[in-house]
Chains A and B, each alone.
Chain A
Amino acid sequence: MRRPELTPIIAMLALAACAACTTGTTGTNEADVADDADVADHTGQPDRITGEIVVFAASSLTEAFTAMAESFRAEHPDAEVVFNFASSSDLVGQIDEGAPADVFAAAADEPMTRLTTAGFTATDPVVIARNTLAIIVAEGNPLGITTLADLATDDLVVIVCAIEAPCGQGAAQVLDKAGVTLTPRSYEQNAKSVVTKVTAGEADAGIVFASDVRAAANAASGVTIPAEVNVTNNYPIAVTSSARNSAGARAFIDFVLSAAGRAILTEYGLLTP
């Protein structure tokens, strides 16, 4: 399989931009410093994290990781975290096709396993968070939905994620465990589009991750699914084998696992191990 080498091109562009801005502002002395920083980057000095860290993360991590990057930057001012948020399987596909990722964070074990099996991970995946499923309903729960069984009526417009998406697999398992059979009106492409349709009033209820309900907190309400029928989704993270900035990648993962990182994840409705 031929893999286009985009990484060096992007690295060169970034370097060129950086060199341009430094020489442009203060002259040759500053440019030397930039060169030194570059060398430090490649030798992987542990205490000084620099350069771009490209993080491919599941879309349900969008809010949490964006906040994470800000805190991370406070600790490592020379480093810049760049995100690519998409569905986990999309991201696996992109990395498989040679996209330049340093870190990969999935919304389920399965996509990560696929990547690991294919030999694209450089470190063992670590679980950074867990997510459970919840029922999302219109704000204030006007229809008084309290259980999964309440969803199994033709009077309600219920939507779930497509089985291809992690939230869809989760929903299938939860309904199975709860012994509830329902015919959704639509199998949405991802949790966000379930949220959109519920907040727009088009659907009465949907099954998504607790973190999704949390993110839509001012436009929708959540109904907790009991732990005995609920499923837990792992969010594994790993450094990719094609990482250009492994030092940065490791530092980012360390930060996510730190107390500060965990606090951010919790804040956005994720459970931490």
Chain B
Amino acid sequence: MLALAALTVVFFALPLVGLLWRAPWSRAAQYLTDDDALQALRLSLVCSLWATLLSVLFGVPLAWLLARVQFPGRSLVRSLCTLSMVLPPVVGGVALLFALGRKGIVGQWLYRWFDYQLPFTTAAVVVAQTFVAMPFLVITVEAALRQTDDATDDAARTLGAGPWYTFRRVTLPEIRPALIAGAVLSWARALGEFGATITFAGNFPGTTQTMPLAVYLARETNPEQSIVLALLMIVISFSVLVALRDRWFTTAGRQR
């Protein structure tokens, strides 16, 4: 067991070591302060935070629906809403084009009535990221909601609390660790999102070119820079994971 576990750690650590090994350390600072890189980084952070916010805003009610409300076809709805986790991201991007693009099911009306074309905008990046990232929040929060005691909900109702008050004061605090974990997972997924973004939103510096896109394209012309940018993303994600992991694991541990 221990040997296998150790091997697994190596499996995860090795690619990182590979990047570190190939990184052009002497020129790293120059690549990192490059305007285009900073622009992509800023866009990535802004978009991924928006995607996380939207995931929480819309994902929590969805998780609540899936966990608490009995309705026919519930497992079908659940599968549908988490499909984008298993869908190849590029396929997801194409599907989004067909739905929200200028000729899409809904997009054509947006275009016709409001002269609004979602693709090629920063909003499209947020939509693509939310599409692939939200399921991570939904399944985490749904699992937590299922674990909470139904009796506490009943108790709140008998004490005169409405559904919203109950959710805010009782349910939400109970699922907070899972909510944080789900939000972090979603954020990490959004930050690393590539396929759906480039397919749905395109690639234009400052508007839709996020870090993963910049890393991918730089890889062709400037492999050194792409390694440095990739490492930067890893550092950001890693530090957030480390910082939050401790917190959510301890609170989650205390809960049960």
Task: Give the B interface residue count (CB, 8 A).
Answer: 26
- The answer to whether A201 touches B103 (Cβ under 8 A) is yes
Interface string of A43-87 (1 = CB under 8 A from B): 000000000000000000000000000000000000000000001
Q: Hey, which chain A residues are within 8 Å of B97, CB to CB?
A: 196-197, 200, 202
Give the most central of B120, B199, B203, B220: most A CB within 10 Å.
B220
Q: Hey, which chain B residues are within 8 Å of A90, CB to CB?
A: 220
**Contacting residues of chain A (141-181) with chain B, CB-CB under 8 angstroms:** 157, 159, 162-165
- The answer to whether B203 touches A189 (Cβ under 8 A) is yes
Q: Hey, which chain B residues are within 8 Å of A157, CB to CB?
A: 102, 117, 120
Question: Is residue A89 contacting chain B, with contact meaning CB distance below 8 A?
Answer: yes
- The answer to whether B103 touches A200 (Cβ under 8 A) is yes
**Contacting residues of chain B (198-235) with chain A, CB-CB under 8 angstroms:** 198-199, 201-205, 208-209, 213, 216-221, 223
Residues of B within 8 A of A (CB): 94, 97-98, 101-103, 117, 119-120, 198-199, 201-205, 208-209, 213, 216-221, 223
Mostly helix, strand, loop or mixed at chain A's interface?
A: loop
Q: Hey, which chain A residues are within 8 Å of B98, CB to CB?
A: 200
Cβ of B185 to closest chain A Cβ, rounded Å: 26
- The answer to whether B94 touches A162 (Cβ under 8 A) is no
Please pick, from B103, B120, B199, the residue contacting A185 in the complex, using a CB distance under 8 A.
B120
Cβ of A60 to closest chain B Cβ, rounded Å: 15
- The answer to whether A162 touches B202 (Cβ under 8 A) is no
Question: Is residue A193 contacting chain B, with contact meaning CB distance below 8 A?
Answer: yes
Complex: A245 Cα to B152 Cα, angstroms:
71
- The answer to whether A162 touches B217 (Cβ under 8 A) is yes
- The answer to whether A189 touches B217 (Cβ under 8 A) is yes
Cβ of B223 to closest chain A Cβ, rounded Å: 8
Cβ of A2 to closest chain B Cβ, rounded Å: 11
Question: Is residue A23 contacting chain B, with contact meaning CB distance below 8 A?
Answer: no
